[in-house]
Each structure stands twice: as C-alpha cells, then as structure tokens.
C-alpha cells in the first residue's frame, strides 16, 4: 500500500535503496549491469508542503481548463483539440530526436486520439499500450524497433557510440541500462496492477510516479518517451481529470529537457521521488496554463 508521510525526513527524501537495485547480468566480457526499479507499491512517499500546494494549484487549473473546454461548441472543441495535438506532436518528437521525420509526425498525430478512443474499450494495459506503440511507430523506418511489441532483448541509453558493456578503459559504457526483458515484464505487471489498484491516491501524484516507472522499465526498443507521455494523458482521462487529449505536456518537458532527464537520474541514483513528483506536477500545471491560454486566444 502506498504511504504518504506529512513530515519530511532525510531518509524519505534521499535513499538509493528506495529507487531499486542494480542487477549483474552475464559473465566475463559480456557482463553488464541493469537497473531494476522498485515496485511503486513498495515505496513510501513524503507529501511535502511544496507538493501539497502544487497539487492544489494544478487541480484547480485543470478543472478550469475542463470547464472552459466543455463550454465550447463542438466545432470549437475539435479545433482546439487539433491545435493542442499539433503542439504535442511537435514537442514530443523533438524530445525523441525525430522532429525531421514527417512520417513520425503523421503516425503520432493518429496515435494520440486513437489511444483515447481505445480507452473506452480497453483498460490501460499492455494490450492498449502496445497497440498505441504500433500506431505511433508504424512507419516502415521503425521496422527494426518491433512496433507493437515489448522488447525481448537488452537495451541501453548513452552516447552515440555507447555500448551495453564498458570497454577496458571503462569508457563508452551506457549511462542507463533498463531492466532485463524478464524483469521488465514482471515490473510492468506490477505497474499495471498499481495503475488500477491505487485509486485512493491523489491522481496527479500517481500520474507522476507511473510516468517515471514506465520510463525506467523501458518496455519498447524505441518510442518509450512518446508512449510514456500518452500514458500520462490516458491516466488523467481514466481518473476523470482530463476530458480529451488537450494537455500539451511535452512542450514544457522539452523546454526543460535537461531537468527532465536529470530528475530521472535523481530517483535512480538517490531515491529522490519527492523531487521528481514535484517537478512533474509542476509540468502538468505549466501544460494546463498553456492550454488555457491557447483556448482564450481561440475564443478571442
């Protein structure tokens, strides 16, 4: 059960053991170290005063966005969704480093509304997310990334020439190695249960944790960031906070991309869940404010 403590402590605000563990895989020259994040069900989170304020402000901003959107005529709602969709697609692809591939934009443009439509038929699950991934990376240039399938091999993140294992000089090694395929499948199953079992927890806090966990598990060979941000939108829809895909969350993350990835590292290395959650909820607030501004311009 997820715990919320009102009084911060040094232990709760920073402890590498909170985040997960490193697992040694293989032997000899082929050995590598993979990160296995702790299941969210086993993490105790401190509800800091800053987070309390951020959650209240963001919930109010999202509620105002929903009210304004639902007051629009149907034609204006569709126009507004298209406007936000274009902003989200552009920013999401820039974060992924794929901004110059028109086909990627075309497929992602279809994948986001498709995800919302399918949520009426399927719960947030491996089946839904693999279907979304298949559409988002449907262009033939992604054939080798197995669109629509969870990965069945190791994957790593690092410099252009980075390798899964470090060389003799301990250089060119990956900066992050997600869980092994077997541990990833097990971890995703726990995440799937968490998504549907922890509905007593504040949705914005849960959304932040789900996004972190999904990116740490890295279930796909490519496109994890794109699908992870769609997952955030779907979760807010599932919790009846977002009526439609009208929250451009990728724009703020793009503006602060260094901090976005640095906070992932803070949790992985130091267990700083509170700092991550505060940051992510702040990005949701920024996105809601940006959407409301765009909506007012549309109405002018």
Instruction: Indicate the domain borders of the chain.
Output: 3-299
pLDDT tens, 66-88? 999 999 999 999 999 999 999 99
Model pLDDT, residue 1: 30
Q: Domain 3-299 - what CATH class?
A: mainly alpha
Of all residues in the chain, the percent with pLDDT exceeding 70 is 90
Exposure pattern of 147-178 as b/e (b: 16+ CB <10 Å)?
A: bbebbeebbbeeeeeeebbeeeeeeebbebbb
User: Integer distance in angstroms from the first to the last C-alpha of the chain?
Assistant: 47
Model pLDDT, residue 205: 96
Confidence of residue 237 (pLDDT cuts 50, 70, 90): very high
Least confident of 47-51, 59-63, 99-103: 99-103
Model pLDDT, residue 11: 37
Model pLDDT, residue 6: 37
Is the pLDDT reported for residue 125 higher than 70? yes
79 or 10, which is more confident: 79
Is the pLDDT reported for residue 58 higher than 70? yes
Instruction: Show the tokens assigned to 61.
Output: 């901003």
Distance CA 281, CA 210 (A): 12
Least confident of 97-101, 124-128, 233-237: 97-101
Model pLDDT, residue 10: 34
- Mean pLDDT score across all residues of the chain: 89
Contact partners, residue 178, CB within 8 Å, separation at least 6: 34, 35, 155, 156, 157, 184, 216, 217, 218
pLDDT tens, 135-188? 999 988 888 899 999 999 999 987 777 778 755 445 566 788 999 999 999 999
Model pLDDT, residue 164: 80
Model pLDDT, residue 173: 67
SS3 254: helix
Residue holding tokens 């086993």?
Answer: 42
Model pLDDT, residue 146: 94
């Amino acid at each position: 059960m997820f715990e919320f403590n009102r009084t911060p402590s040094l232990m709760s605000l920073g402890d590498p053991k909170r985040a997960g563990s490193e697992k040694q895989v293989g032997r000899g020259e082929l050995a590598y170290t993979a990160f296995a994040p702790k299941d969210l069900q086993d993490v105790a989170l401190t509800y800091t005063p800053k987070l309390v304020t951020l959650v209240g402000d963001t919930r109010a901003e999202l509620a105002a966005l929903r009210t304004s959107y639902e007051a629009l005529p149907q034609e204006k709602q569709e126009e507004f969704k298209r406007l936000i969709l274009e902003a989200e697609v552009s920013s999401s692809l820039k974060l992924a480093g794929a901004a110059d591939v028109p086909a990627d934009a075309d497929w992602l443009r279809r994948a986001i509304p498709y995800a919302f439509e399918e949520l009426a038929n399927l719960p947030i699950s491996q089946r839904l997310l693999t279907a979304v991934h298949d559409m988002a990376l449907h262009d033939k240039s992604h054939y080798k990334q197995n669109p629509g399938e969870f990965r069945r091999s190791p994957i790593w993140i690092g410099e252009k020439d980075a390798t899964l294992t470090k060389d003799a000089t301990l250089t060119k090694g990956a900066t992050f190695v997600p869980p092994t395929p077997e541990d990833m499948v097990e971890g995703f199953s726990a995440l799937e249960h968490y998504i549907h079992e922890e509905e007593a927890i504040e949705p914005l806090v849960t959304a932040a944790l789900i996004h972190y966990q999904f990116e740490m598990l890295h279930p796909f060979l490519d496109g994890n960031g794109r699908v992870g941000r769609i997952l955030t939108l779907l979760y807010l829809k599932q919790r009846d906070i977002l009526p439609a895909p009208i929250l451009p969350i990728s724009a703020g993350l793009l503006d602060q991309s260094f901090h976005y990835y640095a906070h992932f590292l803070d949790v992985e290395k130091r267990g700083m869940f509170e700092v991550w959650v505060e940051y992510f909820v702040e990005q949701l607030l920024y996105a809601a404010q940006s959407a409301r501004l765009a909506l007012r311009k549309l109405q002018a």
